[in-house]
Amino acid sequence: MDIMQVDDSLREIIQPIINETWCAPYLCINGKLWDSRTMPGFAAMRNGEFLGYALYEFHRGVCEIMALQSVVHNSGAGTALIEKVKQTAKAGGVDKVILMTTNDNAHAFRFYQRRGFIMREVRIGAMDITRRLKPKTPMIGDEGIPLRDEIEFEIDV
């Protein structure tokens, strides 16, 4: 598997996925809109096949994974992308990587904790703020669970 820096050609693959997954090119995290089209990131590739991507930002003294998605599940792409972001964070002089998911995403809870992340903060009702900024955000998430809260995870690097 190759982990590549996101460039214009990879962004052409990633942006339609983000637009579908997040209902827009803007990600709403912790009550703020972020433009995914300008974020640095990495893509996982194997023999020319796109496996997934991670976008990140340095802010508040940490490196935050803003979006992480595998399009080929159980390929190892998610883990490899997290490791690359952790290396980038360390090289950038920060000692923590954080990320956020929503209360409905039980798969992500398991995935992140198996990779050493711990829950840092639960923001009760955060999705109400998200819906004010991005009205197309659904009310119901994975497996019919109401989409209400943000859960932030962290790991030391």
- With b for 16 or more beta-carbon neighbours within 10 A and e for fewer, the 70-98 pattern comes to beeeebebbebbbebbbebbeeeebebbb
Q: Which fold has domain 2-156?
A: Aminopeptidase (3.40.630)
Q: Does the predicted TM-score (pTM) go above 0.85? A: yes
Q: Where are the domains of the chain?
A: 2-156
Low-confidence ranges of the chain (pLDDT < 70): none
| pLDDT score at 30 | 86
| pLDDT score at 22 | 85
